Chains A and B, each alone.
Chain A
């Protein structure tokens, strides 16, 4: 795993972004939690309420908390206007701040409650005002305990900040998510090492401050604080390198195909002299609105996804009509330019083992009708609830003998071992080619199309240079080429490629 050490130096900008995000969240949490703790120390109700709320927040998984801020901020746009960012730094900051509140608040409240009664009485006895008592007695005596809370919060926050990747905020989660999707373990480990190292460094620095406060060693307290401040300033400086003309930002959702296509698009633009930046591992909903708001410039989306999720349509007018409707809708509603179709579909389909299909004499869904009662169909856990399945079932009158749910990775194993005869699959999935599966035809057109679309944000929609650079991609990528590239990234053996290498291979095969 020597390549981890080669990867680490390249994570500098992610590290800087990670530090700035974490430090801002902890700083903001302190600004909220400390006055709240003072208030809680004077009112039992406030204490109860604040601590219960902070605990409640803790029970929400960090990933969900981050994602929840997206719709929240979106709805707040009606108050603050369209300029309110819904992705990236702001929602990440808000979620992480909420997350950091509990340890700081709890320690501060506990520290205050455990202050020596005698000392507090003496403070009153010598004539301190409430403010003097807080500043001269309560705060310095609580400081080591509060610092311990801030330490806990810092370690949590630095860990949770890796999840900010999913809402479009660069962080050390970028290499982790990208590595997980493309099974590039060196990249995952590099991201984990960097974030763990940062957490450890922060923990130790804050420990020095805590000990300095507890033992009243000023050089430790101030020395620790100085290093923390310097670290944050360095990160700010490292991040502040962002010039006015920002690079073109390319999004990738959380699966291999998206990473490969992002690299392919990026290479195409770089060849034309553009600077590009990647936002990897984003949630699907996040990508769509990020392109509309120009926080991301280019994405690859699919007609079927947009059709059901954003146009909220359940009908199937056919492939061409669907494409034209979406193209026009995106332009009108979001100012997003649908440059065109890449040429392949990543649709839901039904796949069978070639030998089994041949034995049963099945080549299309229509052939299955009579044989279905003797067969088992497998699908991913949500498939049998989706409109696509209902459409196929009703269009052909399919009645399978057995219906089984499998995790996507195991569906192919189930098919190989004969536990399922037919499975739901994605048409561009690399394993279709690798396992030499037969994709059943859909003569009635019951399954909606999932044409891969090249989407451009309003910011670059009219940029002639960009359009010219990307035009060759339109219609250039066949489903076979995409499957091969996907498989090259997904496979576990020696033939495994990184998304970048797979993209180069794909470009070569597609004549780009």
Chain B
């Protein structure tokens, strides 16, 4: 299907914590390829292992078995600091450094690599996430939740990453902010030519943003479909149970919009 090698490859990955196998319980572990430029959603219930699998990419979790290849190289063989500069990371906790200004937060990755980001670049990154350049000097506790996560996204993009990985990035935001930020990230994905992997438990979000949806259940990869195929009923029972929720909600909402006609 792909002519170029994939940007990211999970090759028989298993993650065990003591007696618990979080990822890859069966024979062979979890294997899958993520192509350049794709926007992949990793969906599953709580405890399905999706976050754990995602964190093997930037080695916040080290797999007990198998390998994760980034651009053909085993991630555990790369220097963590260098790897994490090439992989932007956005997560639910946001984790802005409270003692750093917005600008310092955004510039931290390049700073660790010995590079000082000029104010123009900070302003440019703020503009990418639709924040006024004046925010650069603010402290994180002066921002709203949505603004903080925008800064979080800007920080992930500051090093010019090839891959953006996101762990429930909008989980703690209100629905309006969540929708706006989701669209923004999808837009950035297009304009910056990123490859994006997003973990979410919200199938609707996955279907609307991603062009490929991976479904995990009890540590195993149980479906790998396009949103359209999932909506058409593909992907097996677990995926369908997840997909049925937004589909039914959409049908009920649509039904409300159709005026009730007498005798119909």
Contact = CB atoms under 8 A, between A and B. Distances in A.
Interface residues of chain A: helix, strand, loop or mixed (majority): helix
Contacts of B91: 118, 121-122, 125
Given A117-B93, A118-B93, A122-B93, A127 B82 contact: yes
B81 A129 contact: yes
Given A121-B60, A132-B112, A126 B98 contact: no
B109 interface: yes
B94 interface: yes
A124 B81 CA distance: 9
B93 A216 contact: no
B162 to A, nearest CB: 14
A301 B81 CA distance: 70
B109 A127 contact: yes
Contacts of A123: 95, 97
Contacts of A127: 80-85, 109, 112-113
B117 to A, nearest CB: 13
A116 B81 contact: no
A213 to B, nearest CB: 9
B126 interface: no
A124 to B, nearest CB: 6
Interface in A22-59: none
Contacts of A119: 93, 95-98
Contacts of A125: 58, 60, 84, 89, 91, 95
A124 B60 contact: yes
Interface string A120-141: 1111111111001000110011
B43 interface: no
A21 to B, nearest CB: 34
Interface string B86-110: 0001011111111100000000110
B155 interface: yes
Contacts of B99: 140-141, 216
Contacts of A136: 97, 108
Contact of B97 (A117, A124, A137): A137
A347 to B, nearest CB: 69
A265 B217 CA distance: 91
A137 B139 CA distance: 15
Nearest to A127: B84
A118 B81 contact: no
B98 A141 contact: yes
A122 B97 contact: yes
Contacts of A120: 95
Contact of A128 (B94, B96, B112, B139): B112
B76 to A, nearest CB: 15
Contacts of B98: 116, 119, 141
Contacts of A129: 80-81
Contacts of A137: 97
Interface string B65-90: 00000000000000011111100010
B95 A121 contact: yes
Most buried by A among B60, B99, B109: B99
Interface residues of A, number: 20
Nearest to B80: A127
B94 A122 contact: yes
Nearest to B58: A125
Contacts of B96: 119, 122
Given A125-B60, A126-B155, A128-B112, A118 B80 contact: no
Nearest to B158: A126
A216 B137 CA distance: 14
Contacts of A128: 81, 112
B155 to A, nearest CB: 7
A121 B112 contact: no
Given A127-B83, A129-B81, A141-B99, A118 B60 contact: no
Nearest to A118: B93
B163 to A, nearest CB: 13
Contact of B112 (A116, A126, A140, A216): A126
A126 B93 contact: no
B95 to A, nearest CB: 3
B217 to A, nearest CB: 25
Contacts of A121: 60, 91, 93, 95
Nearest to A140: B99
A118 B90 CA distance: 11
Interface string A93-120: 0000000000000000000000011111
Contacts of B97: 119, 122-123, 136-137
B112 A122 contact: no
A141 B152 CA distance: 19
Nearest to B86: A127
A217 to B, nearest CB: 12
Contacts of B95: 116, 118-123, 125
Contacts of B152: 122
A127 B112 CA distance: 8
A226 to B, nearest CB: 22
Interface string A356-398: 0000000000000000000000000000000000000000000
A118 B89 CA distance: 12
Contacts of A216: 99, 139
A129 to B, nearest CB: 6
A122 B80 CA distance: 13
Nearest to A122: B95
Contacts of B84: 124-127
A128 B84 CA distance: 9
Interface string B177-218: 000000000000000000000000000000000000000000
A126 B89 contact: yes
Contacts of B93: 116-119, 121-122
B147 to A, nearest CB: 16
Contacts of A118: 91-95
A137 B95 CA distance: 11
Nearest to A119: B95
A129 B112 CA distance: 9
Nearest to A129: B81
A209 to B, nearest CB: 16
Interface in B118-149: 139
Contacts of A132: 112
Interface string A206-224: 0000000000100000000
B175 to A, nearest CB: 22
11 contacts: A118-B92, A119-B97, A120-B95, A121-B93, A122-B96, A122-B97, A125-B95, A126-B84, A127-B82, A140-B99, A216-B99
Sort A-B residue pairs by CB-CB distance and give the 7 closest, nearest first: A118-B93, A122-B95, A127-B84, A118-B95, A125-B89, A127-B81, A126-B109
